[in-house]
């Protein structure tokens, strides 16, 4: 699974379609202006049929697009070449091309919003800005250069400001995501500390018992040694999975309990939190289902706590986004994995703002926890409008 949870695809599609529609309208306006002004010279038509569409293609961001630096070169080179040609050949144009101008402005937005490369972003943004400000020279008059330069300077300021705003928001989102992952790792470390202490206590108790009975009942020592070896292997496996996680001493460690009992309490609390009269009754708000294989599955302690967190986070999101939906928490298992699935029906009423505000990082932290124990997490919408969170967690060897 990808490091980040997938973003909503229809938002990206909407932005792409809107951008293409804006470029198409601008290109049609270019054609209309040139034709109405009776500008029939080849130079006047070049921004409409050559440089404008080329720069618009360079702006488009697709899986097959080259690097951003190459796109900037493909956009700036023809524009500067046409401006230089109009000056050298003294072929003035009353219209320098709206599509070309919009494409360059959008390219300035892309370069200023690109994260992780500040020096290159500044250089590319300056180069594009100079290219845009030289466009009025094609008109061949000082008045057109000063007037057009003022308008283009304002447009550049707006687009570059918007780009750096996007860059700052993305940087803040990345910082928040890192903090969420780090906090989840600390929680895993606290769990690990407590579980190792639990296992080591059992090993010491069994070793002392073996020492006390070695003379009176030597035939009972072998089963005790086997239990010690098995417990030590489980502890070592848990340590191997989480060895790079740091522990924060000031927090209280969490101790895993019986999984089905804990999940039953979570589901009961979810049902009790349902508002009376706003939807399903408490008895049908949510239910817990566990197959026979899941009931007898042998779980590592860190898997129990992670399964608990999956259900807890999923039910919390249901209360925030679909408080009147019906929810099913289901546990199933095969020979290798415990599968925890939380599915809810579409809400009868969709709130514009979720209860408790918008978070967005709970599933990210949960994914960090699941991946730390070699599990997988999937969260996404269902065809009927509902939502499903599904986790596959590794089982202990039998």
pLDDT tens-digit profile of 14-67? 777 887 888 888 888 878 777 776 555 556 667 777 788 888 888 877 777 788
Phi-psi region of 357 (alpha: psi -120 to 50; beta: other; left: phi over 0): left
Q: Choose among 84, 82, 97, 72: nearest CA to 148.
A: 97
What is residue 341's predicted lDDT score, i.e. its pLDDT?
A: 95
Q: Give the pLDDT band (50/70/90) at residue 377.
A: very high
Q: Give the pLDDT band (50/70/90) at residue 246.
A: very low
Tens-place pLDDT, residues 307-357: 988 998 888 888 778 777 899 999 999 888 999 999 999 887 765 554 444
Handedness of CA 196, 188, 292, 319 (dihedral sign): positive
Strand partners, 328: 287, 343
Whether the Cβ atoms of residue 27 and residue 99 lie closer than 8 Å to each other: yes
Tens-place pLDDT, residues 256-277: 457 888 888 888 877 876 544 4
List of residues 6+ apart from 327 with CB closer than 8 A = 270, 285, 286, 287, 315, 318, 342, 343, 344, 345
Please, what is the average pLDDT of the chain?
Answer: 77
Residue that wins the pLDDT comparison between 252 and 296: 296
End-to-end CA distance of the chain: 27
Whether the Cβ atoms of residue 109 and residue 163 lie closer than 8 Å to each other: yes
Q: Choose among 33, 21, 159, 22: nearest CA to 96.
A: 33
Beta strands in the chain (DSSP E): 286-290, 327-333, 337-344, 376-381, 387-394
CA dihedral 217, 223, 227, 230 (to 10 degrees): 140
Whether the Cβ atoms of residue 198 and residue 143 lie closer than 8 Å to each other: no
What is residue 145's predicted lDDT score, i.e. its pLDDT?
A: 78
Collapsed DSSP state (helix, strand, coil) of residue 325: coil
In whole angstroms, give the CA distance from residue 331 to residue 249: 33
Whether the Cβ atoms of residue 375 and residue 306 lie closer than 8 Å to each other: yes
Q: 69-73, 83-87, 217-221, 359-363: which range is least confident on average?
A: 359-363
Share of the chain above pLDDT 90, in %: 13
What is residue 82's predicted lDDT score, i.e. its pLDDT?
A: 85
Collapsed DSSP state (helix, strand, coil) of residue 329: strand
């Amino acid at each position: 699974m990808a490091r980040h949870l997938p973003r909503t695809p229809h938002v990206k599609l909407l932005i792409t379609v809107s951008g293409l529609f804006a470029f198409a309208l601008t290109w049609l306006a270019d054609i209309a202006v040139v034709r109405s002004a009776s500008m029939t010279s080849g130079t006047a038509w070049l921004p409409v049929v050559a440089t404008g569409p080329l720069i618009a293609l360079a702006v488009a961001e697709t899986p097959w697009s080259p690097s951003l630096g190459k796109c900037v070169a493909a956009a700036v080179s023809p524009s500067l070449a046409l401006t230089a040609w109009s000056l050298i050949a003294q072929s003035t144009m009353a219209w320098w091309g709206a599509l070309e101008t919009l494409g360059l402005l959008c390219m300035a937005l892309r370069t200023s919003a690109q994260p992780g490369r500040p020096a290159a972003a500044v250089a590319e943004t300056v180069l594009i800005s100079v290219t845009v400000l030289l466009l009025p020279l094609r008109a061949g008059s000082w008045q057109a250069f000063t007037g057009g330069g003022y308008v283009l300077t304002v447009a550049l300021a707006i687009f570059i400001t918007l780009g750096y705003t996007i860059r700052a928001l993305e940087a803040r989102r990345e910082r928040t995501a890192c903090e969420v992952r780090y906090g989840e790792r600390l929680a895993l470390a606290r769990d690990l500390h407590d579980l190792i202490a639990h296992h080591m206590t059992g090993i010491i108790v069994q070793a002392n018992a073996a020492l006390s009975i070695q003379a009176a009942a030597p035939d009972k020592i072998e089963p005790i040694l086997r239990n010690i070896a098995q417990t030590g292997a489980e502890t070592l496996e848990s340590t191997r999975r989480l060895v790079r996680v740091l522990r924060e001493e000031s927090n209280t460690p969490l101790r895993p309990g019986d999984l089905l009992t804990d999940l039953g309490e979570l589901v009961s609390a979810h049902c009790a939190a349902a508002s009376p009269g706003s939807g399903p009754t408490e008895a049908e708000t949510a239910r817990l289902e566990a197959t026979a294989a899941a009931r007898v599955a042998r779980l590592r302690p860190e898997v129990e706590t992670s399964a608990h967190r999956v259900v807890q986070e999923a039910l919390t999101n249901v209360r925030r986004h679909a408080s009147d939906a019906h929810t099913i928490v289901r546990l199933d298992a095969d020979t290798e994995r415990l599968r925890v699935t939380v599915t809810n029906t579409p809400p009868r009423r969709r709130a514009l703002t979720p209860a408790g505000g918008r978070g967005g990082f709970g599933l990210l932290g949960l994914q960090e926890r699941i991946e730390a124990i070699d599990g997988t997490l999937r969260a996404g919408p269902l065809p009927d409008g509902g939502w499903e969170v599904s986790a596959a967690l590794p089982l202990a060897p039998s």
